Amino acid sequence: MLIRRTVLAGQTDSFPVTGRYFSLIQGSKCRINLLRQGSRIFSSEVYEGMGSKFDAIDAVEVESEVEQTVEYWMGESEYRYTPPALRAANNKMSRVGIKTGVSRVVTANPKRLRCRMTFDEDAYIGGDDMALDGENVINAIPVKAGESVSIESSGSINAFVSTREAHEFVNDSRPNIVLAPSELHLRTVAKMTELGVFYVDVNVPSHLINQNMTLEFRFGAPNLSSGGQTRYVMSAAQSDANAIGNPVLIDLWGVDSSFRNLEAPYRVSGGAISHTRQLKYEKTRLWVYATMGTDATLASLTLKHPDWTVIHSIVDVIEETL
pLDDT at 58: 94
What is the rounded distance in angstroms from the CA atom of residue 4 to the CA atom of residue 25? 10
pLDDT at 29: 82
Segments of the chain scoring below 50 in pLDDT:
228-232, 252-261
Q: What is the pTM of this model?
A: 0.49
Digit-coded pLDDT (tens) for 148-197: 888 888 888 999 888 776 677 776 566 666 655 566 566 677 777 777 77
Phi, psi of 183 (to 5 degrees): -75, -5
In three-state secondary structure terms, 258 is: helix
pLDDT at 191: 74
In three-state secondary structure terms, 276 is: strand
Digit-coded pLDDT (tens) for 223-265: 555 554 444 456 677 777 776 666 665 554 334 334 444 555 5
Phi, psi of 304 (to 5 degrees): -130, 135
Cβ–Cβ under 8 Å, residues 24 and 47 = yes
Domains and CATH numbers, the chain: 2-75 (2.60.120), 91-165+310-321 (2.60.120.770), 167-304 (2.60.120.720)
